[in-house]
Structure 1
């Protein structure tokens, strides 16, 4: 919007440009000649340039289709004629770009050209229809493989869905390793996050938390129906508040996944929100509600809270990584969750077959270092990723498949 300096009251502001309801503003940069907006719509990134002298001459540039994450670079000169930024994706390292304000062109810096060279993988944007008919975006990455092979390929599903925050789509080295090992990576942009703007968050918070869970179920079901892996080779991963949806899915639709990797997960929403003495509880009520003030809120939180809804049934295997110095997710709550989950799975196994041991492994990996955001030391980060990948390979039976292939190769050589 714009107005003159001497007429700043609300009625004098004039609308210049606005994003549609399904778009999310990521960043804004102000230069002497232009105002730049960086935004996303259904997973695609865009740059809008608004000239200060002629605001109606808006220019919209679609950023490279492979890009999924944007990171602005310092632009200290207000009168600069160019804007520097980085683009990345879960499987491609950050590469630097420059946008020319005068020429309305984007160029990639030569020294970073190799970082973005397309290699042998597919990047696909899908949609799943949730329970109420809402279309939910899914971003899928996988190595170029024959369609019939994808059904027998493991998939790692990512979810968050809270606080209006986007699912992290930045680069992680382990993702390249997984792609090389023929994994599928799927990112479910469920309601509660911010991928499709403010409405997307509003539609997944407070008394609409079930929407996020229904979205996640729809996304995984859609992946399987399209031939991306199968339940026995499906793993789910989530951090922090994403643990609410992951834990709720384990309670309501455990048949959809075989293994779950959680990092500093929020699993007992109800008891945390009932204790105003805990850090962040009061301000967290904007996202979850206040069960102390409203009985209906209490019952609604209870209806999806992972800890409150553990039941006697078969669960996927779960590994939870937690940290001693985490002030947001306390280890006492995680220990209670692990204990209750182990008892439920053990009782289910005993009641169905006394000779059959429990097939679900429930593991708590308590790290002495690190806070809610994980370890700071590089070696600790590597060890954490190694433990989680080893867990996934074991629980999905990938280790056995690799050993069988090696044996077959050795037998052929002998012949």
Structure 2
């Protein structure tokens, strides 16, 4: 029998932190020195210990991986997207980690029905634009941050990250010769694009704190030293991005903090000029604009929250955006307006109501929206793959906990729905075998918290008897966790595990007030809401504390660390993925990536003693308690993560070990915030996490 090594014990090397008269000795802050040999040795020791402690799960991990693989159509093709005179799509090939990006010519200019693709049939005229498997060869990590074909279809730009730190190098390929052009632009942010004439590339770079702060213009074929700055934002609170309107009429430069935004316009056919502001920034006002042509006049449709908590839609003249505002969709409390996608003849509006995503088509002349209805109680829907300016139909992506992801084209004039593809699930999947529903928990202050459930019906209805339950949560940045389908999740449901999502405050499920009630000095609501959801599930017989595992990632990892401190008795296990568990230390340091930007979300503890005291009261690392029987913990992180640095979970696990907790740390040494790259690697990573969850829940291996 193989002996398990002792858990690594990080050396205590106290570093003094002093703010607002409060002196704190941080014993493990030295782990932040990423390139220090002792730090690397400690992380390797943690990985070895975790591998030894979970070695007995290797057969189960392999079984889960094979379940995911066997349910997935490995050789497959995406639904083609029309742009110009080409259909663009991606092939996946069995045994290959990454997609192969392809295109094929239209049969005729009037052809709006995409070809029905088959993996074993060559499409007439097919061209391979980029084989990501070849590009990734020799690299442990590979990710695309930009991918775009010029309007005239003769050039491809793509940007690659082979480390995981989200710093991309842009390359340009001549699609007529297949040759790479000499252009190579390193250290860019994601989201570069060609100008409509294909002569220029607009891209963004970051500052020392990993904040996108400068928009550049590069002329293809020239030296990067000649690139011109289009826009620079010196205020550390704002991110900057840029993109061309669907109409190719304007370049829109976008600035945003968590609470304030500003946009600048440039004529797309004259990027030598100066950008002009749409609306000058006003603290607390967010807006986004989209170009359209109505009665021959260039207009901007602007979604904003100026005196409109859940946002409203107005229309202004593009040449006088600060002039009169025509209200198109008035503010409606409780219905959170998210955005608008404008096309030549109509627009699509996205919004949320009753905790679900919604879409409606909008007639320009009448201003009347027509909601696109669906017949499931829980679902997620959004627009997808609509680059053309004047299509007769709109493409949507629809799915739910039980309905695999479905691509639907809707003919706007007739409301005819054409299902282009539904995600294949091999092995005889039947959605009728599974159920989904929403229940409501009561928070400490009486607020009703929605909790969404999905389960396999053959094990009985939830609540009939306690079942193993996997509870997921996030609750930050107004980001909703919507009911989406997952092949990997079937491995849980088919073992009798109920999967649930607690839609806690701080997220975006229930409108802007739902978000505001879970941020800044109301952040504790996020944590107590999750605890209330867990208690509701236990008290109403859905599960019990011995069979309840919680999971969250990134800011959801902060949630995991907080609830482990608040109510450790409620959970058998905590899975924290790239967890933001040393929040106060990070938010106190403006030199770290994202810190200043994050002050709008969490508060500024550097200058405000009240915020400092509030954050110190909940940040997980600083609130680990002696004499507490903590649930089992698995923290998963990545060495090259620039968003939540590996040091946070490393310190947290070290502190948990001090108080006797059963805590494991798994650090990917060649990955970033999104974890490993490549679909097979991702499946193995999820199989690893699910095997640990099943072990905690006592779910028997088949």
Q: Same fold (TM over 0.5)?
A: yes
**1:37 to 2:338 alignment:** no
- The residue number in structure 1 matching 2:466 is 152
Tell me how far apart the structure 2 counterparts of residues 7 and 371 of structure 1 sit (CA, whole Å). 43
* Residues 259-303 of structure 1: per-residue CA shift (max 9 Å, x gap): 111111000111111222211111111111111101111000011
The 2-side partners of 1:158 and 1:175 are apart by 12
Which structure is higher in strand share?
2
Q: How does 1:286-325 map to 2 (within 5 A)?
A: 286-312=600-626, 313-325=628-640
Task: Determine whether 1:23 maps to 2:347.
Answer: no
Residue 380 (structure 1) aligned with residue 681 (structure 2): yes
Question: Which residue of the other structure, out of 62, 81, 84, is the alignment partner of 2:395?
Answer: 84
1:231 has 2:530 as partner: no
Q: Which moved more, 1:170-179 or 1:284-293?
A: 170-179
- Distance in 2 of aligned mates of 1:180 and 1:39: 34
- Residues in 1 aligned to 2:491 and 2:480: alpha-carbon distance in whole angstroms: 24
- Aligned match of 1:242: 556
5+ long unaligned stretches in structure 2: 1-313
Question: Aligned pair in 2 of structure 1 residues 225, 13: CA closer, same or farther (>3 Å)?
Answer: same
1:32 is displaced (CA, Å) by 2.5
For structure 1, which segment, 273-282 or 301-310, has the greater mean C-alpha deviation from structure 2 after superposition?
273-282
- Specify the alignment match of 1:54 in structure 2: 366
Q: Would the aligned equivalents of 1:66 and 1:89 in 2 still touch at CA under 8 Å?
A: no
Question: In structure 2, do the counterparts of structure 1 residues 289 and 180 end up closer, same or farther at CA, with 3 Å as the change threshold?
Answer: same
Please list, as runs of the form range in 1=range in 2, the aligned pairs for 1:134-149 lying within 5 A after superposition. 134-144=447-457, 145-147=459-461
Alpha-carbon contact 2:402-2:435 (below 8 Å) kept? no
- How far residue 311 of structure 1 moved from its aligned partner, in angstroms, is 0.5
CA contact (8 A) 2:560 2:575 kept: no
The residue number in structure 1 matching 2:488 is 174
SS at match of 1:119: helix
**What is the match of residue 351 of structure 1?**
none
- 1:125 maps onto 2:426 in alignment: no
More displaced stretch, 33-42 vs 288-297: 33-42
Q: 1:193-216: CA deviations, max 9, x gaps?
A: 111222221111110101111111
Residue 410 of structure 1 is matched in structure 2 by: none
| 2:410 is aligned with 1:99 | yes
Instruction: Report if the CA contact (8 A) 2:463-2:540 is conserved.
Output: no
Gaps spanning 5+ residues in structure 1: where? 347-359, 404-415
**Residue deviations 1:316-339, cap 9 Å, x none?**
100011111112323333222111
Report the 3-state secondary structure (helix = DSSP H, G, I; strand = E; otherwise coil) of the residue aligned with 2:685: helix
| Greater CA drift, 154-163 or 34-43 | 34-43
Offset at residue 46 of structure 1 (A)? 2.3
1:386 & 1:79 partners in 2: Cα distance?
44
Return the match for 1:263 from 574, 577, 585.
577
**8 Å contact kept, 1:91–1:176:** no
Structure 1 residue 23 displacement after superposition = 3.1
Query: Which residue, out of 268, 279, 282, partners 2:596?
Result: 282
State the number of aligned residues.
384
Change (3 A) 1:272 1:173: same
Tell me if structure 1 keeps the 8 A contact 2:402–2:436.
no
Give the whole-Å Cα distance in 1 for the aligned partners of 2:674 and 2:376.
30
Matched, 1:69 2:69: no
* 8 A Cα contact 1:151 1:230, kept in partner: no
Per the alignment, in what secondary structure is the counterpart of residue 372 of structure 2? strand
Kindly provide the CA deviation profile for residues 63-105 of structure 1, in whole angstroms up to 9, marking residues without a partner as x: 3416633342222333322101111234543111122211235
**CA distance in structure 2 between the partners assigned to 1:195 and 1:71 by the alignment:** 15
Does residue 343 in structure 1 map to residue 658 in structure 2? yes
Residues 80 and 148 of structure 1, relative CA distance in 2, 3 Å threshold: closer
Q: For residue 61 of structure 2, what is the aligned residue in structure 1?
A: none
SS in 2 for 1:395: helix
Give me the whole-angstrom Cα distance separating, in 1, the residues matched to 2:422 and 2:681: 29
Structure 2 CA distance for aligned equivalents of residues 80 and 163 of structure 1: 33
Higher helix share: 1
Q: 2-side partners of 1:7 and 1:283: how far apart?
A: 30
Shift of 1:22: 2.8
Tell me which of 395, 399, 412 is aligned to 2:696: 395
Q: Deviations over 1:209-254 (max 9, x none)?
A: 0111111111111222332111111010000011111111110111
Offset, 1:5 = 6.4
Distance across 2 between alignment mates of 1:389 and 1:182: 13
CA pair 370-70 structure 1, distance change in 2 beyond 3 A: farther
Counterpart CA distance in 1 for 2:423 and 2:491 is: 21
Aligned to 2:663: 362
Aligned to 1:270, the other structure's residue is in SS state helix
Which piece of structure 1 moves more, 132-141 or 73-82? 73-82
Distance in 1 between residues matched to 2:360 and 2:400, nearest whole Å: 21
Corresponding residue of 2:518: 204
Deviation at 1:124, TM superposition (A): 0.3
Question: Scaled by the length of structure 2, what TM-score is found?
Answer: 0.52
When Rg is computed on C-alpha atoms for both structures, the one with the higher figure is 2
**How large is the RMSD of aligned CA atoms in angstroms?**
2.4
Q: Distance in 2 between matches of 1:31 and 1:330?
A: 41
SS of the aligned residue for 1:50 comes to strand
1:112 equivalenced with 2:422 (yes/no): yes
Q: How far apart, in 2, do the equivalents of 1:120 and 1:158 lie? A: 22
Output the TM-score relative to the length of structure 1.
Answer: 0.85
Q: After superposition, what is the alpha-carbon deviation per residue over 1:27-52, rounded to whole angstroms, capped at 9, x for unaligned?
A: 52212232211223233332212211
Q: Which residue of 1 aligns with 2:154?
A: none
Instruction: Identify if the C-alpha distance between structure 1 residues 117 and 146 changes in structure 2 by more than 3 Å, giving closer, same or farther.
Output: closer
Partner-residue secondary structure (3-state), 2:622: coil
SS at match of 1:85: strand
Moved more, 373-382 or 69-78: 69-78
User: 8 Å contact 2:495–2:699 — kept in the other structure?
Assistant: no
